[in-house]
Each structure stands twice: as C-alpha cells, then as structure tokens.
Structure 1
Amino acid sequence: MPGYENLSRMDLTYREDTPRIPTREGVELYYESRGEGTPITMVNPFFLTSPSWRVFSEQLEKDYRLVSYDMCNHGASSHIPEEPTWDEHITDLIGLLDALEIESTYLIGVSTSTVLARDMAIKHPDRIKGLVLTGPVFGPRGMRRQRQVQRAWLRTLQTHGVAGLYEHMYPEVFSAEMNEFLGSPGYLAFREAFSALSTVEDLVNGLTRAMKDEHKPQMLAGIQAPTLVVIGDDDFLLGPTGAKELAGQFPDGRHEIMPKAGHVPYVDDAEHFQALVHKFIGEVEARA
C-alpha cells in the first residue's frame, strides 16, 4: 500500500494511559513501545510526533520491538523554558533506554533527528547496534544548504504561522509523485494534521536548535556502528550521488535510494522502507 494511502489511516491521538518516563530534572518523555524482539528506536524530526510512526511501521512491529517518543519540548513530552541542546536530547534518549531496560538499539533518525542519531553513535557507541539515517540533513560536504533552508522556514513560520510554513514546506518535503497523487483534497487534509502536530513555539524552538549543528564530514569516521543512509530520489536536500558519497564516509556505511520518494521517504512508500530496514538489520545481525 503506497504511503499516500497510509496517510488516510494516520492516528495522531496520544495514549493517555502511557506513563511518562523521567530522564533528567524537570523532564519526562512520552513514549510508545510496540512488538517484541530486537529493539528499534525511532527518533522524530521536529515536525512529527510519536503517534505518527504507527501506520508507517506495522510490518516492522511483527518482528521487532519498536520504541518511539517525543523529544523534550515537543508533542506530549515535558516543555521547559529553554530548548534543550543536542547533548541534553542525548541524555534524554539514554534515560529512556535505561528505563525501558534496552542495553543497545538500532536507531532510526529522520531529517533533523539524523543529527541526534549521528551524535548518539559517536558519544555512546555501546548503546547503538546500527543506524538508519533517513533523509539526512547533512551531506558529504557539510550542511550549509540545510541551514539556509531552515532559516527560510523559520522566517516563514514567524511571519505567516504554521499554515504559512506548511504551504512553504509541502512542495519541498513531499515528492512530486505524492503531490500529484494527493491533489488538492490531500493537500488540505494533511494540512489539518500538520497543524495539529506542533505549536508555533515548538517549531520555532526546533528549527532554531537544528540550525546550531556544525557537521564536519570527518566526524563520521568515528562511527563504528553499521549505517544505512536512505533517501528518496526526489529528496530536495540530498541526491543519489550525495547519498552514496555520504555513506562512503562511514567505516561501515551503505545507502539505498527509494524511487519517486521525497525527503521523508517512508511516507511515500512505508512497505519499501520497512523492507530496507528489515534487510539491513538482518545483514547486521548475521555478522554479529
């Protein structure tokens, strides 16, 4: 089933009976855990929330334990006065894994959260079994382009609000194929969902934090975890050549290109994305 159709089944409601997990003073995280087996932890970008993963990970849930969560200052997790640093987000993730008794996990980062996934693998290699970097916001030369894009998004958000940001982002983030398939009805329906995902304050904080990362290609040489770079061939930030070069900078890296998919390729084709993750983990586990 194409991701476009999965969008109509998205359930963004929170499970009120799920206890929050305290990770540091004043911070509790909302999380969801589904399935059994080898753990996979899915880290949202600043524009999506934990419940949005459900409809796009149903196949993985059959074979793995899936953990998703809202980062501090986003979604249903604690909101504190100052946006956490990347190091504080890493501390929160470690606290979440400890509370769930997960010694090591595969980590899926998407868009801005690929920065968190990268840094987690560098600073806590013993906790990471493998990385899946989906639509990474850093390329083989750096991330100047991403910061320019985020600066433009932030300006639109501050001037025109969430609706204006959605109008700005939609043709960039989503593939041409998906745009044509959904047409105006899909555009309008997804706008309602997007507006319900985050507040202006959450998005401003997230975009501001994301622009403060300084990616240097040599950082990747220190990541020993097997790494899979996944992009859509219609990703507006990183093309197939860039993805191949980026994967080559990891000691144990590889890449996959999803046809006709955009910056968040699992939305375009959830089944294909899950099959790639399943294959990657199978190969890594077979070598262990």
Structure 2
Amino acid sequence: MKAISYSAYGSADVLEYGERPDPKVGPDAVLVKVRAAAVNPVDWKAREGYLQGGLEAVFPVIPGWDVSGVVVQPGIAVDEFAVGDEVIGYVREDFLSRGTFAEYVAAPVRTLARKPLSLSFEEAAGLPLAGLTAYQVLHRTLKVREGDTVLVHAAAGGVGSLAVQIARHSGCRVVGTASARNHEHVRSLGAEPVEYGDGLADRLRELAPEGFDAAFDTVGGEALRVSAETLAEGGRLASIADSEVFSYGGRYAFVRPDAADLAQLAELAEQGIVTVHVDRVFPLAQAADAYRLNQEGRTRGKIVVTVDWEG
C-alpha cells in the first residue's frame, strides 16, 4: 500500500511517500480503507521526538491517529462492524508505528465509531482526536455543568472550536481567545471572542468579573498563567499543552481512545450540534506540506489529508 512514513525523528523533511506492507488484522480489529486522515499538532511533536518519554517509536513510523474510511475486513472476533461500514477512529496505540496516513489501517474496535452520515469523509476525519480531547477534558477533567462560565483558549483551532460547541451544548457561557481575524468565526460557534496578547487578563476580567468556573488551556505558557489568574474561587483548570498546570493546582489531560465517547460525539455531529471546519485538504502524497502548515499554528479548524480511490 501507499503510505507516508519516517525512519528517524526530525522535521517534515523526514516524511517519505512510498510503498509500505499492508497491515495485518488482529482478531479484535478491522481493516479500514482510508478515505481521509486529519493532521494534529501532536503528530509533528511525536515526529520530532517530543513524546519519547511515553510513546516510543518503532521505525519506520506511519504517522497519524485520526481516520475516516470504510471497513473492508473485520477481524475474526469482531461483530461490531461489517464490510462496507463507514467509520471514524482515533487509532492510537501505546507506541508509534502503524498510523493512519496510508491507504489502509488496521484499527482496534475500541478506537472506532460509525461515521456520522451528515459529515463528509474530510469533516469526519477531523472529529475523533480533537473532539475526544474536548469532550473528555470538559466532561471528565473539568466536569463542566449548566450555568458555568468557561474559558477556552485557541477557540478557532481544532480542539478549541469543538470545545466551544460542546460546552455551549452543556449549557455553559463560553469565552474564547482567538486572533482578531477569527472573532466572527468564534462568535458563530457560540463563544464570546477575546483577542490574544498584552492585556489579556484585563480583557477577560471585564467579561467575567467574578472569574471563570473552568478554564481549558490548549496553548500553554502565558495562556496558562492568565487562565490561573482569572479563575473564580474554586474554579477548575486543565491543560493539554503545558505540564506547568500542576503548579497552578490544575490537571494535565491526554486524550484516550474511547469508542463510547466517540459514538457520543458522532451523535452530536449527526444532530448538527457539533460541526467540523476543514481549513485545507491535501492529497496523501503531499502530507509533508500539510504537516508544515499545521506546525505554523495559524489555521482555522482542521487540516486533512485524503486518499483517492477510483470508483
């Protein structure tokens, strides 16, 4: 099969497009014919070796954890999915090797859910990792509830935009940081936009004088510090970007594959409660360019790579 792979840690220049062996399908997995795979910041961080302490690489590595596609072969113990089923998945193992930037991926059923019919394959590929991150942080880590005032950083980004929609659906008031060019987009998602930069803490206090009940940091650094400063008494803080969150009494979160959570997200998408904005689409052979664009950190929504199939 055709795939993107790398044989050493490094920049996007280490990514190669070429032939790789077809995946072997275990008893509790299905073979998915990949239609689209989304790029996430964690992908380039893994490729550059930043995750070596927790996720070792077994080279050569096919990157990517997000996928949408069609089941072409169920494992012998699988009765959840059949040939022809359209699925989405956050296909992460505890090591780096067998990712989704390929024509096929063997996906354990614990990582999959049925694809929302209302989403294209490109949109659906952008839902699993970012959506699960937002869903799990809001509901399990921050435990948001109706009436909370919630701060979401990078509210126009992949995780942030989904966090805004999920928090709003939970009955929360949401304030989201974003660059000025993305303020209208953030409003359309249901949040009150605030611009990054000097004076952010003062601008946040003007909007929420009594502080935030919960703050979701997706950026780290100054954004994390400001989040801690503007929390209400007893407010909850979580970060997916900076382990310094512990020093502020908050919690660090790393998304887990969870079929039930993913099915809940798919249902929210099917109902039109959650939408996925696709910023750019690249063919599989140009995945390195997709990674370079993602690493710039200025896109709105998701960057997606597609696999072309005849017929």
Q: Which has the higher strand share?
A: 2
Whether these two folds match at TM > 0.5 is no
Q: Which has the higher helix share?
A: 1
Q: What TM-score results when the alignment is normalised by the length of structure 2?
A: 0.28
Q: What TM-score results when the alignment is normalised by the length of structure 1?
A: 0.30
The structure whose Rg is larger is 2
